[in-house]
Amino acid sequence: MTAYIFRRILLIIPTMIGIMLMTFVVVQFAPGGPVERMIAQLTGSDVSATAKISGGGGDFSGGRSQTSPGDVSSNSKYRGAQGLDPEFIKSLEKQFGFDKPAYERFLILMSNYLRFDFGESYYRDTSVLSLIWEKMPVSISLGLWMTLISYSISIPLGIRKAVADGSKFDVWTSSAIILGYAIPGFLVAVFLIVLFAGGSFFSWFPLRGLVSENWSELPWYSKILDYFWHLVLPMFAMALSAFATTTFLTKNSFLEEIRKQYVMTARAKGLTEHSVLYGHIFRNAMLIIIAGFPGAFIGAFFAGSLLIETIFSLDGLGLLGFESVVNRDYPVVFATVYIFSLLGLIMNLISDLTYTWVDPRIDFETREV
């Protein structure tokens, strides 16, 4: 097992380089960029719906050229740059690192990232790592609790549906799950706010934030209650559609195992249905569920939470990533891709190791990576 883990860790390096290279290439061909965005800010042509640039971008209010038209470049490669001093454009390129060729910028980026040096945000006066760390509690809360709630309900429900396959219970629960899956999470979120968060009916739950403004002044037990009180509506909105995949996967996995010969043999020996189900079937059927756990956690952690974060005013990684892409804040974009990809690869390795814990018969040493 040690050799297998070592090989998988070595494979992470070229995989990460490939992911970052593809991301870097896509960014190079994406329209716009930090230089053009700064020019748009200066010329008053920026119509972005996101927050305005502030902080680390610097004050360029005096950057307009005061030279005559004959001294100004009219063939700049940046849209909207006509009328600006070419030297000022070059200073912008140097500030954002675009004075170097693309291959050199990529090598510098990978060299820094291997040392977990992610630099500073273009437009926020803080380091990228501090910015991600600041937003992490919101995303961890949403991803972790949604995954735990989803699995704690979906697995027992899927087992019950497999045992009662074709019964009325199986039919109506399937209908309810499919209906919940079909309803968009953001629509449920809006409905919950209108109904329970001071909309037109009740004011039982808070409308925004992960904790109350006076959270630091509360005793420890009140802090815990306040934290979960703020999570009720976002969790319900996100988890309503999260039951379907795991529930039906669990049901089908158990149905497949129930029909196998070893189950009939166990029943013929006189074992109780509970012993057969949880002593024999459970271990084999749960392998595919365990394989899907890292993907489910990463998906809940990093994806699908943008609209929920926006609706409930939760300043997490989903909103940060979206704003960074729109604002062309490349250090934040590359850092989030790097960290999320690395975490995903590590979670996949942990998933394989969990296989051997659930079923010791599995031996990855005899397999090629």
Question: For residue 58, what pLDDT is reported?
Answer: 39
Claim to verify: residue 68 and residue 134 sit in the same structural domain: no
Length of the chain: 369
Output the tens digit of pLDDT for each of the chain's 369 residues: 678 788 888 888 899 999 999 988 888 777 677 767 776 666 665 545 444 444 444 333 333 333 333 344 444 566 655 656 677 777 777 777 777 888 888 998 899 888 888 888 887 878 888 888 888 888 778 878 888 888 888 889 988 998 888 889 999 999 988 888 888 877 888 888 888 887 667 778 887 778 887 888 888 888 888 888 888 888 888 877 778 878 888 888 888 888 888 888 888 888 887 888 887 788 778 777 776 676 666 666 655 567 788 788 787 877 787 888 888 888 888 998 898 888 878 877 877 777 777 666 666 665 554
Domain total in the chain: 2
Report the C-alpha gap between 289 and 293 in whole angstroms: 6
> Could you tell me if 195 and 154 lie in one domain?
yes
Question: And the tokens for 22?
Answer: 């593809």
How does pLDDT run across 192-227, given as a tens digit for each residue?
888 888 766 777 888 777 888 788 888 888 888 888
Q: Rounded CA gap, 57 and 35, in Å?
A: 10
CATH number of the domain enclosing 139 = 1.10.3720.10
DSSP H or E run through 367: none
**175 and 194: one domain?**
yes
d(CA 140, CA 96) in angstroms, rounded, equals 31
The answer on 234 and 93 residing in a single domain is no
Residue 291 counted as domain residue:
yes
> What pLDDT shows up at residue 18?
92
Question: Residue 49's pLDDT is what?
Answer: 44
**Residue 23 resides in a domain:** no
Last residue of a domain, one of 126, 148, 183: 126
Of 73, 98, 126, the residue at which a domain comes to its end is 126
User: Is the domain of 163 the same as that of 289?
Assistant: yes
Tell me the pLDDT tens digit for each residue of 330-366. Answer: 888 899 889 888 887 887 787 777 777 766 666 666 5
CA nearest neighbour of 4 among 280, 356, 270: 356
Do residues 139 and 229 share a domain?
yes
Per-residue burial over 353-366, b if 16 or more Cβ lie within 10 Å, else e, is ebbeeeeeeeebee
- Asked if residue 365 belongs to a domain, the reply is no
Does some domain include residue 10?
A: no
Among 102, 126, 150, residue at a domain's last position: 126
**pLDDT recorded at residue 301:** 63
Q: What is the pLDDT of residue 15?
A: 92
> Could you tell me how far CA 81 lies from the centroid of its own chain?
36
The answer to whether residue 86 is domain-embedded is yes
The residue type found at 369 is: V
Task: Say yes or no: 185 and 312 in one domain.
Answer: yes
For residues 111 and 253, state if they share a domain.
no
203: β partners: 197
* 171 and 305 part of one domain: yes
Residues 113 and 139 in one domain: no
> Residue with structure tokens 């509360």?
218
Residue located via tokens 């087992």: 159
- What residues make up the domain containing 313? 129-326
At what angle are helices 128-163 and 243-258 packed, to 10 degrees? 40
